[in-house]
Amino acid sequence: MDNNSTTPTNIFDQFDLSYLNDDYDLELNPVSIGDLCLAKVKAVETAYWPARILEVKRSSTGKGKQKEMFRVMYLDRKEKYISRDQFYTTSQDEFRTCIVSSRSHWQSFLTKIDDRCVHR
């Protein structure tokens, strides 16, 4: 090597990566307010219910990390905060393959919605 050569540098030194702090989370399936989803009512359940994302809330876990909680409204208009692993959005493959709650549980609600739409 002659005196005019430069020493190799790390390619990442050339980019501003300051936004990649400890809170940065690369999410492959981002969630937006208003998204439709299929959500569990309780974490231990296996069936999912139709719902809509109303709010995204970050709460501290006490270990320096933050956990996202999502307020959802189910088809029966009940609202609840749930964790990300309790629902699938329409952009996830599992949305099409998960077990949906028994239709008999929410059939009367759907009938009311249909009646309102037909009579308008």
pLDDT tens digit string along 78-118? 999 999 999 999 889 998 888 888 755 555 555 655 555 55
pTM of the model: 0.60
Residue 62: its pLDDT value, please?
Answer: 66
The conformation of residue 86, written as its DSSP 8-state character, comes to: G
Residue 23: its pLDDT value, please?
Answer: 45
The conformation of residue 53, written as its DSSP 8-state character, comes to: E
**Backbone dihedral region for residue 40 (phi beyond 0: left; psi -120 to 50: alpha; all else: beta):** beta
The domain limits of the chain are 28-118
> Is 90 exceeded by the pLDDT of residue 27?
no
Give the C-alpha separation, 37 to 2, whole Å: 62
Q: For 28-118, which CATH class?
A: mainly beta
